[in-house]
Structure 1
Amino acid sequence: MLIKAYAKINLSLDVIGKREDGYHLLKMIMQTIDLYDLLNITPIEKGIEIKCNKSYIPCDKRNLVYKAVELFASSYGIKSGVSIDIIKNIPVAAGLAGGSSDAAAVLKVMRDIYIPELEYKNLIKLGTSIGADVPYCMIGGTALCQGIGEKVTSISSFKNHVLVLVKPFFGVSTAEVYKSLDINKIKIHPDTDMLINAINSGSLSKVSKNMKNVLENVTLKKHPLLRKIKNELIDFGALGALMSGSGPSIFAFFDDMLKAQICYDKMKTKYKEVFITRTV
């Protein structure tokens, strides 16, 4: 079974508190984009076999796909095994939920194969224990995500908007970014309600102008190149640019495909991982 696991971007990301266990409480708007990994999933007699086209991707218990299969099998007494070939297109350690999306896709396929009657809420619960982005990745589209990411509410679709995405040469540790974040020093929070209204109205301009990610306070300060990339994208005609997740990927919306293509061509001469794609 060949399936697509889509990347995500954050149209907003706000940190509104912290739980006693150390997890941050979030309020963010997530959006699926047309950039995806391909997973070829085949049931086998026993065991978990994972292969990947990228040599730097671990194919053992460190991989979220492995964890997803292992968790599903142990939770529901599945004795059969699975073989998974991953064709990795989503940049890693990029703030795009590549690993989480792969895990979410595998959980859905495991349910379809072995327990199709399993309620979605139970699958979401499994996903939450793997990673905060996994529940959203199971649902996809345009959604408001709250709690630690497990409370997902679909909102009006914001599909078919063109964006250019740049992933610089380095990765970022999500855990380190959150560890460095001082909630009390966040001066400007996203206006999530205003952004949802802009999405409901279908206004790309309003959405682009109201995007906000409080984690930029940490990642952009540590990596000044990211601010430079944001400015470059705006100079090439983007309506707005933002860091996705904890970074370091930067994306920008365009209201004209020709402008986006020119921007893509220019950025591609400077950075290795540049994508021109759409929201889906």
Structure 2
Amino acid sequence: MTRIIIITALLLLQLQCLVAQSLSDTIPFTLAGAKVLLSGKLNDTSNVKIELDLGAGTQCVNKQSSNRLGVNFDSKITVNNTEGVNEVRHSTKNKLSIGHSHWDDLPFAEVGNMRPNEDLIVGNGLFLNKIIELDYDLNILIVQDHLPAKAKDYTSQPVIYEQNRPKLEVSFYHNGQHYTFWTLFDTGRDGTMLIGEDFTGQNGNWAQLHELQMLNGKKIVRLDAEVGGVRFKDIVTNPADPAKPQGRCTLLGNQLLNHFNVILDNQQKRIYLKLNSRREERYSDYKQYEEMMKKKSD
């Protein structure tokens, strides 16, 4: 009888461990503009403001925050971001906690293009063996091991990865032409979209983009984009000139993406999208462009 009790207890303990390992981690977030901000702990500092940027290829620390956070820099690294291509300070030994998730020996590059209310940027590289869900109705991030049953009600499509950053096929409609292109899913972009050199440098695409106007040597164009089965009309954006390469890639920003609740399945390389309560929120479109131009002319 004692042996049976011991075996039963061990089985229950193993079951509890398996359940604990498979439990999802639900983490609240806030929106700053269109950016997703989490709270966590870096080394010995709590209440650190962390931007979840699925378009980031590396973890970053704000140059304005690094002293306060006590980050120890022990090397250099080259970073390509909106400041250009620069060699910056690099810290390789950090402990980070977000919710119940914890990482050791995590590297951070020091950058100067972050907002004052952002201490760190983390990307999809932290969750490559997980399924992550962004619910903009409840303002929660869910990190889990199994695809939730509700995914069947979402629109699904495959993703590919570039530096751990997810890309999905997006349709563009412009000047009577239909284009399909692998586009970065960039929750760190507080804007609508960008047409990068990876698109404008191919097949004469740059010449086919008809501008509303030239502004500081840049084309301003109007187009529709279709993602997750939803067509966003009259987007106004500026494509990158392939004759002046800056390493900019084609992306959708969170001004559009946060219209969807999102499940990113990094295990099976698929993304699931479903329109949420933000579906009627405005984005940078032709009507806003007309309003802006009218104010300039008044």
TM-score after normalising by structure 1 = 0.27
TM-score after normalising by structure 2 = 0.26
- By relative contact order (CA 8 Å, sep 6+), the higher-ranking structure is 1
User: Which has the larger strand fraction?
Assistant: 2
User: Which has the larger helix fraction?
Assistant: 1
Whichever of the two has the greater Rg, that structure is 2
